[in-house]
Amino acid sequence: MDIRDIQAYAVSSPIDPPQERQFHGGMRRLNKRDVVIIVVDTADGERGFATAGASSSAMREYFEGDSQGTFADVVNESIADQLIGETVEEPADVQSLVRELPLPERAKTEAASALDVALHDIRGKELGAPVYELLADQYDDHDGAAPTDIPLYASAGMYMEPEGYVQQAKTIEELGFFGYKYRPGIGPDEDRRTVSLLADALDDTEIMLDVHTWWKLEDGYDEETVRDLVKHAGTQGAYWVEEPLEPEDYEGYVEMAKQGVPLAGGESESTDGLVKLGETGAVDFLQGDVRHHRGFSGCQAAIELSRGREMEFVPHNFGTWFGLIANAHLVASAPEVRLLEYPVFENDPVLSAEHDPGMYQNDVAFDIIEGQPDIEDGRLSLSDDPGLGIEIDLDVVEKYPFQDGPWTEFHYHDEDEAVPE
């Protein structure tokens, strides 16, 4: 594949009006969601797509105060200038090319992730095969029948009254999703009450807690409180507790695992850190993401590690339908990988329910691709069209112009200034 052109477009989906959510110790304001669209063209006329999924907080870490718009600029300038004219025999070859670029490490990771996905899309189109078939060939025990009917768990609930979580979870169960994942952080007592109410309210749908809020709070819960809440979630049959500790606290994860409650983590790790977390044996579910962990190629080590242990690889996916489909190809390709995260935003056109279970507005999530994913009864059916089987609607670049500023802000009760993320 001879790379002829690389273009990046930063877009923003406004949350209008901005939403404010009360949590333990403060208030969170949701302003918008950002995404960067990557388009790669080859000399043979094939075009591949990807999205870059880093949060705006991650962008500030890379660029000292800048954002997704800065990342798009870096792709269009530094990265495109170096890679246009290069030839790659296999999509994974782009990893070494990006690694040599004089850029911050995390920026290189985001670029390698997106380019790897786009080049797999191109290779699939060249060969007339879906990406999951290309990926499945890497496994010696693959029997040629990739499972393209994928169960989804709904990722929703963010900082609401316990009864609000319950109403949302009941709707998710009615829609047929495997699980309901929510974000607590409304205070230890109310967090405890919420999981108990959910356990009583749901019959078939699993409960997952995404508790990274606990360690992101200005005055986070202390170790004993976190341990007790994790243990309580376990007694209520929680399918997993996700990110109960800061990502690099491997010893803490090992100690927490002694509670006997299934733990999940990895989305906030680097690609190497994802594997290191898995190697601790502390997590039951390892959450890699093609948008964060060097694409399809970068996730392979974590998948292989999971297969050799009593641990399940479940891709993290939070953003757009494009990211959903990209990670679905990873699920379909790998033996023993079966479950996928489905973020639920307001006014989701493929969901029909009396009560909207969406977290907040993110219209670009739906408009970014042409058509809609095939979702019914909480399951995604993946097509066998070549490449990723989808096309990005580049009209979103004009429809959703990039807006500067943080996508979300945390206002703490004892502070005058907002803390952006």
Is pLDDT at 137 greater than 90 in this prediction?
no
Rounded-to-integer distance, Cα 210 and Cα 208, Å: 7
Q: What is the pLDDT of residue 421?
A: 64
Rounded-to-integer distance, Cα 341 and Cα 206, Å: 13
Q: What is the pLDDT of residue 339?
A: 97
Q: What is the pLDDT of residue 68?
A: 76
Per-residue pLDDT reduced to its tens digit, 45-78: 999 999 986 544 444 444 555 677 788 999 999 9
CB 316 within 8 A of CB 267: yes
Rounded-to-integer distance, Cα 39 and Cα 10, Å: 12
Distance of CA 348 to the CA centre of its chain: 17
DSSP 75: I
Give me the mean pLDDT over the 299-306 stretch.
94
Alpha-carbon distances, residue 245 vs 40, 216, 385 (angstroms): 38, 9, 40
Q: What is the pLDDT of residue 145?
A: 60
pTM of the predicted model as reported, rounded to 2 decimal places: 0.94
Q: What is the pLDDT of residue 1?
A: 96
**Strand 26-42 with 3-23, pairing:** antiparallel
DSSP E strand stretches across 238-390: 240-242, 263-265, 285-286, 312-313, 340-343, 374-376, 379-381
Rounded-to-integer distance, Cα 223 and Cα 201, Å: 29
Radius of gyration of the chain (CA): 20
Q: Which of 55-64, 246-255, 359-368 has the weakest average pLDDT?
A: 55-64
In order, the DSSP letters of 186-210 are S-HHHHHHHHHHHHHH-SSSEEEEE
pLDDT, the chain, mean: 91
Is pLDDT at 219 greater than 60 in this prediction?
yes
